[in-house]
Each structure stands twice: as C-alpha cells, then as structure tokens.
C-alpha cells in the first residue's frame, strides 16, 4: 500500500468561477501545474476527488464534466508535464440539496464529506489512506479527509479564505493551512511518512 495526495478541483487546481458551462473557461491557478509535477517527480500518487453536481442539477451532462477534466489534464501537461494518476468525481446530489435530473439525483456515499471516492481510489490503486493527504478549499474537503483517516490541508485559494473567516460552510480544523497548492506540496514533502504525527 502506498500514500496518496488527493486534490479537490475547483479552487485548488483550477480557478473557482462557479459552474463551468464552457470548457474553455476552465483555467489553472498559477503554479499548480508545477506543484503537481513535483508530486509526480517524487512518485507520489496524485488523485483528483471532486463534487460535481452540475449533472444532477440539470446544468449539463456528465460528458461535459469529462470534457472539463480532459482540458484540466491537458493544461497540466502543457504547462509543466504534470499528470494526475486518477480522477474521481461525484455527479450525484440528493433531492433536498437540489438534485433534479433523475439519472443523478440520489443519496450517495461518494459526495463529500462522505468518503466514498477515497475508499474507491484506495481499493482500486492499493492506497494507504492513513498515510495520505487531502488538499481542498472547503470545510467538506477537510471533513472528508478526517472521516477517512487522512491528513486534511485547507488552501486559501478558492473558498478557503471564506471558510477560515466563517463566511462559507462551517468551521473546520485542518491539519495545515496553505496559501495555495504549491505551499501545500512543500509541507507534504516535508512530512514524509505521517506515522506517529497525530
């Protein structure tokens, strides 16, 4: 079993602009491609885990989310030769949360802060969640990390500053607060194994 770094998408890798209806409107946050490349160079498994409720809300089909991820991977590669080892996302949403499309409207263990995406990745790729890190800009990212036994890192990009200021979602207790993904990767690489840390 190996450790992994799990990454949220919007506000961590690409700029937070709400629901992205046009593929060309997905753009990387400066410095993230180089940060992902550093993880690649250290042979750290790098995995996207993202709530994407657009299909459940009827905004666009799941194929549009796939097209956004194709662009994301292409930009990472073009900018720094960086790559994600796996991509997981949750297109589902319960009716009370706003799900309307019958194909994607349901309760699910995959939607953050539930741990379904992390468990699926761990099962498929033989990952050690207790030695892994989750980087996100929302309280639900940190909560999911802790629910799965991972180390939770909150970045100030995206909604991170608003979470810290108590103006978005709820207060949470990240293991580390980083200005952006580059600083998060600095900290992760300094940790080595997190055995005995917590």
Q: What is the pLDDT of residue 161?
A: 93
- For 72-100, what is each residue's pLDDT tens digit? 999 999 999 999 999 999 999 999 999 99
Q: What is the pLDDT of residue 198?
A: 36
| Percent of the chain's residues with pLDDT above 90 | 93
Q: Please, are residues 75 and 28 in contact by the beta-carbon 8 Å criterion?
A: yes
Distance CA 142, CA 198 (A): 15
Given pLDDT bands bounded at 50, 70 and 90, which one contains residue 193? very low
Q: What is the pLDDT of residue 168?
A: 87
Q: What is the DSSP letter of 25?
A: G
Q: What is the pLDDT of residue 94?
A: 96
* 90 is an annotated ligand-binding site residue: yes
Active site (annotated) includes residue 66: no
What does pTM read for this prediction? 0.94
* 73 is an annotated ligand-binding site residue: no
Q: What is the pLDDT of residue 197?
A: 40
**Domain extents for the chain?**
4-193
* 152 is an annotated ligand-binding site residue: no
Q: Is the N-terminal amide bond of 162 cis, ω within 30° of 0?
A: no
Section 102-110 average pLDDT: 97
- For 112-170, what is each residue's pLDDT tens digit? 999 999 999 999 999 999 999 999 999 999 999 999 999 999 999 999 999 999 988 88
* 130 is an annotated ligand-binding site residue: no
Active site (annotated) includes residue 77: no
Distance CA 176, CA 187 (A): 8
Q: What is the pLDDT of residue 169?
A: 86
Given pLDDT bands bounded at 50, 70 and 90, which one contains residue 196? very low
Distance CA 108, CA 50 (A): 14
Label residue 77 exposed, middle or buried (CB < 10 Å: 0-12, 13-18, 19+). Answer: middle
Distance CA 10, CA 8 (A): 6
Q: What is the pLDDT of residue 171?
A: 86
Of 8, 101, 143, 180, the catalytic one is 8
Q: What is the pLDDT of residue 6?
A: 98
Please name the fold of domain 4-193: Rossmann fold (3.40.50)
**Mean pLDDT for the chain?**
95
Of 10, 143, 175, 180, the catalytic one is 10
């Amino acid at each position: 079993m190996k450790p992994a770094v799990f990454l949220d998408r919007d506000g961590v890798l690409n700029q937070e602009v709400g629901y992205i209806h046009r593929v060309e409107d997905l753009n990387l946050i400066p410095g993230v491609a180089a940060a992902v490349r550093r993880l690649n160079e250290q042979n750290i498994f790098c995995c996207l885990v993202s709530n994407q409720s657009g299909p459940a809300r009827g905004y666009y089909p799941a194929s549009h989310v796939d097209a956004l991820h194709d662009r994301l991977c292409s930009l990472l590669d073009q900018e720094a030769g960086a790559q994600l080892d796996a991509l997981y996302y949750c297109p589902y949403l319960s009716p009370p949360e706003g799900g309307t499309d019958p194909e994607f409207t349901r309760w699910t263990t995959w939607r953050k802060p539930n741990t379904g995406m992390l468990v699926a990745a761990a099962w498929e790729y033989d990952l050690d969640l207790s030695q892994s890190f989750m980087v996100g800009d929302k309280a639900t990212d940190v909560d999911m990390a802790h629910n799965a036994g991972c180390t939770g890192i909150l970045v100030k990009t995206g909604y991170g500053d608003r979470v810290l200021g108590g103006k978005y979602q709820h207060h949470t207790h990240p293991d580390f607060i980083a200005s952006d993904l580059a600083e998060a990767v600095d900290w992760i690489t300094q940790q080595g194994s997190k055995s005995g840390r917590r």
